[in-house]
Each structure stands twice: as structure tokens, then as C-alpha cells.
């Protein structure tokens, strides 16, 4: 019976460790995808850094605690198994708290990004001292998300700035028409704002991470039950 319980516990621990690795990979992907935009202040960094930090920390803890549990089962050490159970209880409390406070609240990145991107446009196209780096990142953002400006192309025209070609589809990008504000506007403009698109992708990524985290909580809870049962009804297998 103990051997069966050990096998089940080992499988659950391996799954949890794998989930921890998945969270680490997810955190790294988020950091890579959004880092340039965060560095150029296209949204408030706290909305980006907090989830990334939480995902990386929890992922690391899941891997470390999972490996400790596997070691306890392999060495048949009751003390290590008890320490593992205690750590899992603490980790579950942290994870449930994180799920409620970090991932559940409405994503605030989008409203933050709208004003920040408009400000970035002003800086990038400044007549006296344009910021080429910020303009390059703006172009990448608009091309990647098929969007224009923070809210829309009015973020350019309202400041008497000619809308860049990155704001329109690749077809007929060089064709321009004179708008009501007497600004030359590319045809086939992207109508969606970049703040909405950026926020939408960030929200989808957080939803995926949320699902992984919920899965981790479920498997940890089941594994904890088996671990506590092993500790409670140990027949002398563990020393």
C-alpha cells in the first residue's frame, strides 16, 4: 500500500515540478514579449513587473519544493517529507492569495498604456529633439499589433504629426490622402488603438498563466493529501 502511495505521490510531485518549469518559461516569455514596451514607458511598469515577478518566484518555489518532495520519497526520510508538507501548505496559501490579488483584478495595463503611448508619440516626433529609439519601438508595436497610436490615429493628427507608414497595412502604405486637419494620412489605416491591442495580449497571457497556476494548486492539494496520509499511517517505511 505504501509503495502505491509513494508512486502516486511521486507522479504528483513530478507534475507539480513540471508546472513550476512551465511557469518559469511563461514568466520568461512575458518578459521577452513586453520588456521593450515597458522600457520605453508605453505603460506603467508596475502592471508588467508585478505579474512577471510573481510568476517567476512561484515557478521557482514549485520546482524547489517539488524536488524536495521527490528527494524525501526517494530517501524515505520522514523529516524531509514533513518539511515538504509544511512548505506546500505555506505555498498553497501564497498561491491562493496571489490568484485573488494579482490575476483576478481587472487588467489595468490598457488605460495606463493609452496615455503613455500618446506621450511617447510626442517625444518620438519632437521637432527639435526627436527620439529615434522610441520611434523605432513605436513602429514595431504598430506593425506587430496592426494598430495605430494609443487610442487611435488621432493621437498623431491632434498633434499635427504625420501618421507613420507603420500605422497602415503594407498595401498602399505610400498612398496618402489629406485629412480634415490638413495632415497627410496613409490610406488603409489600422483603426484599432495600440493600448487596446497591447492590453488584450497581456490579458490573454495572464489568463493562460492563471490557468496554469490553478492547475498547480489542484495538483498540490491532491499531493498534500497523499503526503499527510503517508505521514499519518507510516508503517515504518520512513525513518
The more confidently predicted of residues 10 and 27 is: 27
Q: What span, in angstroms and rounded, lies between the C-alpha atoms of 21 and 60?
A: 8
Q: How far apart are alpha carbons 36 and 84 in whole angstroms?
A: 39
Tell me which of 207 and 141 has the higher pLDDT: 141
Summarize pLDDT for 30-81 with one digit per residue, the tens. Answer: 888 887 787 777 777 777 777 888 889 999 999 999 888 888 888 878 888 8
Q: What is the mean pLDDT of residues 170-184?
A: 52
Q: What is the pLDDT of residues 191-226, one digit of tens each?
A: 899 998 888 888 888 888 888 888 888 888 888 888
The grid coordinates listed for 232 are 499519518
pLDDT, residue 42, reads 77
Instruction: For residues 83 and 79, give the distance between their C-alpha atoms in angstroms, rounded to a whole number.
Output: 6
Q: Is the pLDDT of residue 117 over 70?
A: yes
**Mean pLDDT across the chain:** 80
Angle at the Cα of 207 (from 204 to 209), degrees rounded to 5?
A: 115
On the CB side of 54, how many CA atoms lie within 13 Å of its CA? 21
Lowest model confidence (mean pLDDT) among 153-157, 174-178, 193-197: 174-178
Could you tell me if residue 122 is left (phi over 0), alpha (psi between -120 and 50 degrees) or otherwise beta?
Answer: alpha
Tell me what pLDDT residue 122 has. 92
pLDDT digits (tens, 9 = 90+) for 92-113: 888 888 777 766 555 567 777 8
For residues 121-135, give the mean pLDDT: 89
Q: Report residue 179's pLDDT band, with 50, 70 and 90 as the boundaries.
A: very low
> What pLDDT is stored for residue 64 in this prediction?
92
C-alpha angle 163-165-170 in degrees, rounded to nearest 5 = 140
Amino acid at each position: 500500500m505504501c509503495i502505491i502511495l509513494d508512486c502516486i505521490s511521486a507522479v504528483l510531485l513530478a507534475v507539480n515540478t513540471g508546472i513550476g518549469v512551465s511557469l518559469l518559461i511563461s514568466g520568461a516569455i512575458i518578459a521577452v514579449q513586453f520588456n521593450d514596451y515597458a522600457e520605453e514607458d508605453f505603460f506603467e511598469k508596475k502592471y508588467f513587473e508585478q505579474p512577471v515577478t510573481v510568476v517567476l518566484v512561484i515557478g521557482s518555489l514549485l520546482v524547489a519544493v517539488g524536488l524536495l518532495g521527490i528527494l524525501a520519497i526517494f530517501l524515505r526520510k520522514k523529516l524531509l517529507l514533513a518539511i515538504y508538507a509544511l512548505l506546500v501548505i505555506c505555498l498553497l496559501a501564497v498561491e491562493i492569495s496571489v490568484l485573488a490579488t494579482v490575476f483576478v483584478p481587472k487588467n489595468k495595463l490598457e488605460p495606463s498604456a493609452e496615455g503613455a503611448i500618446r506621450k511617447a508619440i510626442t517625444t518620438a516626433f519632437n521637432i527639435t529633439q526627436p527620439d529615434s529609439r522610441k520611434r523605432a519601438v513605436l513602429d514595431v508595436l504598430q506593425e506587430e499589433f496592426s494598430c495605430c497610436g494609443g487610442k487611435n490615429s488621432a493621437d498623431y493628427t491632434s498633434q499635427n504629426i504625420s501618421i507613420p507608414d507603420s500605422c497602415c497595412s503594407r498595401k498602399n502604405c505610400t498612398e496618402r490622402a489629406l485629412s480634415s486637419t490638413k495632415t497627410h494620412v496613409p490610406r488603409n489605416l489600422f483603426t484599432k488603438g495600440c493600448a487596446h491591442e497591447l492590453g488584450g495580449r497581456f490579458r490573454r497571457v495572464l489568463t493562460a498563466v492563471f490557468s496554469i497556476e490553478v492547475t498547480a494548486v489542484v495538483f498540490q492539494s491532491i499531493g498534500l493529501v497523499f503526503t499527510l496520509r503517508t505521514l499519518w499511517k507510516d508503517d515504518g517505511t520512513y525513518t
